[in-house]
Amino acid sequence: MQKLLQKIITRQAHIGIIGLGYVGLPLVLRFAEEGFTVTGFDIDPNKVRNIKAGKSYIKHIPTKKIKEFIKNNRVQATDNFKKLQTLDAIIICVPTPLNDMREPDLQYVENTGRLISENLQKGQLISLESTTYPGTTDEILLPLFEKNSFKVGKDFFLVFSPEREDPGNKNFTTQTIPKVVGGVTPACLKVGQKLYEQIIDRVVCVSSTRSAELTKLLENIYRCVNIALVNELKMLTDRMGINIWEVIEASATKPFGFSPFYPGPGLGGHCIPIDPFYLSWKARAYDFTTKFIELAGEVNTAIPYFVERKVMEALNSQKKSLKGSRILVLGIAYKKDIDDDRESPALKLIEILKDRGALIQYNDPFIPKLKKSRKYNFNLTSVKLTKSLLQKADLVLITTDHSTYDYNWITQHARLIVDTRNAIKNKKKYAGKIFSA
């Protein structure tokens, strides 16, 4: 342990990051910034090829920074997992989605664990950052690594440290967001803490990997439940003729006891729509039902269908049916000003509207093409936003309120608008033309 600690403190430790996405790539660069040599691993050859060429494929990560570290040999990228044998610390940042039954799909964690097990060397630290249910680290990864007759806390070190990336948030960086760490043993925790202290301003230690795993779930469940609350109130206030956005802003003036959450077209992102159900699934093993999580899931799942009804109401006001109507969707990213469309509610809305016979086009300045995913394969590309395009569309559906959009210009030229993000503030001026959803 002392040898590894010394290598970490002196920046001589060779770090490996498995998974070069929105979590893994910022970590690669953060370690490189502090003088570590880092190897990034990914099964996607395009990501490996881009990193080797010094190119960024994530909007908020500058190509210049990657190119700089590639040039001075601080960063490498590979899909050869035999190179895991040369590392001192290995950090796992792979996806943890749900399957079609809304149950945890840990194939990426398990496959990565097996690759590490096949190449595990004495003295290595392994950290899992992928969001998952309490027990994953010690129930799935630990047995894989102990197959080598290695003893945890002595021959290798195992921790869980949940990722806390927030793409598009300029107020926080990988360095400034506090890092929670839990170890399988006290020795594991000590090594994990020391590693993250080299790149993170504040490291928060907890008593076990299970506590660390549940910490991340609680953070996301808190958001999921509160978003469900305002989404439910949005549907109620729609019937009551009350502006929910005005109500939230007024409530937010209270300096204590209230944190504002805002409604939208549904849940999006790689965390909030997925992570709470990891705990719901695990809770069933303890004969326990997580009622708040299940109820929040029901409310948030229903929101895209509420938006569909508002689209139909808007079209009906112009004596048009949904079937055959030309609908222009503005914004595919799950939140404003980012290029991430994972679990975006816009994708679910496109599916619903296409199934009802609508003719769909979309514009998103950050997402030029809709890639095939586990759920969707629309084969659509972003169309150029022009005056003619707006005028030809029977309805414009605002699903992501990107700052680059000129909403006054859009409102002037669109025939009909359904706004799910309160992007257009002066709705009274355009009464009968703009519908909130």
Q: Are 358 and 352 in contact (CB under 8 A)?
A: no
Please indicate, yes or no, if residue 218 is contained in any of the structural domains.
no
Please indicate, yes or no, if residue 93 is contained in any of the structural domains.
yes
Can you count the helices (H) and strands (E) in the chain? Answer: 15, 13
Q: What is the CATH number of the domain that holds 88?
A: 3.40.50.720
Where is the domain boundary, 207, 234, 260?
Answer: 207
- Predicted confidence at residue 20, as pLDDT, reads 96
Please indicate, yes or no, if residue 383 is contained in any of the structural domains.
yes
- Predicted confidence at residue 164, as pLDDT, reads 92
Residues 133, 266 share a domain:
no
Q: Which residue has the higher pLDDT, 1 or 391?
A: 391
Average pLDDT, the chain: 95
Rounded (10°) angle between helices 24-33 and 63-71: 50
- In the chain, how many domains are there? 2
Average pLDDT score over residue span 57-78: 93
Best mean pLDDT range from 90-104, 259-273, 320-334:
320-334
- Predicted confidence at residue 85, as pLDDT, reads 97
pLDDT digits (tens, 9 = 90+) for 209-242: 999 999 999 999 999 999 999 999 999 999 999 9
pLDDT digits (tens, 9 = 90+) for 83-125: 999 999 999 999 999 888 888 999 999 999 999 999 999 999 9
What values do phi and psi take at 189, rounded to 5? -60, -40
Q: How far is CA 3 from the centre of its chain?
A: 36
- Predicted confidence at residue 199, as pLDDT, reads 98
pLDDT over 70 percentage in the chain: 100
Residues 150, 230 share a domain:
no
Please indicate, yes or no, if residue 154 is contained in any of the structural domains.
yes
Residues 237, 199 share a domain:
no
270 pLDDT exceeds 80? no
Residues 232, 167 share a domain:
no
289 pLDDT exceeds 90? yes
Give 257's pLDDT tier (boundaries 50, 70, 90): very high
167 pLDDT exceeds 80? no
Helix residue spans in 253-321 (DSSP H): 275-283, 291-317
Residues 237, 154 share a domain:
no
Burial of 71 (0-12, 13-18, 19+ CB in 10 A): exposed
Question: Rounded distance, CA 201 to CA 196, Å?
Answer: 9
pLDDT digits (tens, 9 = 90+) for 169-187: 888 999 999 999 999 999 9
| Candidate from 94-98, 247-251, 361-365 with smallest mean pLDDT | 94-98
Give 353's pLDDT tier (boundaries 50, 70, 90): very high
pTM of the prediction?
A: 0.92
Q: Which residue has the higher pLDDT, 428 or 62?
A: 62
Strands (E), 35-155: 37-41, 75-78, 89-92, 124-128
Please indicate, yes or no, if residue 212 is contained in any of the structural domains.
no
Please indicate, yes or no, if residue 94 is contained in any of the structural domains.
yes
Residues 161, 110 share a domain:
yes
197 pLDDT exceeds 80? yes
271 is catalytic: yes
Average pLDDT score over residue span 391-408: 97
Q: How far is CA 242 from the centre of its chain?
A: 32
118, containing H or E segment: helix 107-119
Question: Rounded distance, CA 169 to CA 173, Å?
Answer: 8
Question: Rounded distance, CA 322 to CA 353, Å?
Answer: 8
Please indicate, yes or no, if residue 213 is contained in any of the structural domains.
no
pLDDT digits (tens, 9 = 90+) for 8-53: 999 999 999 999 999 999 999 999 999 999 999 999 999 999 999 9
Residues 425, 318 share a domain:
yes
428 pLDDT exceeds 80? no
Average pLDDT score over residue span 416-427: 92
Give 268's pLDDT tier (boundaries 50, 70, 90): confident
Domain that holds residue 393: 223-436
Give 426's pLDDT tier (boundaries 50, 70, 90): confident
Please indicate, yes or no, if residue 280 is contained in any of the structural domains.
yes
Q: Which amino acid is at 202?
A: R
Residues 265, 237 share a domain:
yes
Where is the domain boundary, 142, 175, 207?
Answer: 207
Where is the domain boundary, 178, 207, 236?
Answer: 207
DSSP-derived 3-state class of residue 22: coil
Q: Which residue has the higher pLDDT, 375 or 53?
A: 53
Pick the catalytic residue from 188, 205, 224, 271.
271
Residues 162, 25 share a domain:
yes
Residues 257, 147 share a domain:
no
- Predicted confidence at residue 123, as pLDDT, reads 96
Residues 184, 35 share a domain:
yes
- Predicted confidence at residue 148, as pLDDT, reads 76
Residues 381, 355 share a domain:
yes
190, containing H or E segment: helix 186-197
- Predicted confidence at residue 101, as pLDDT, reads 81
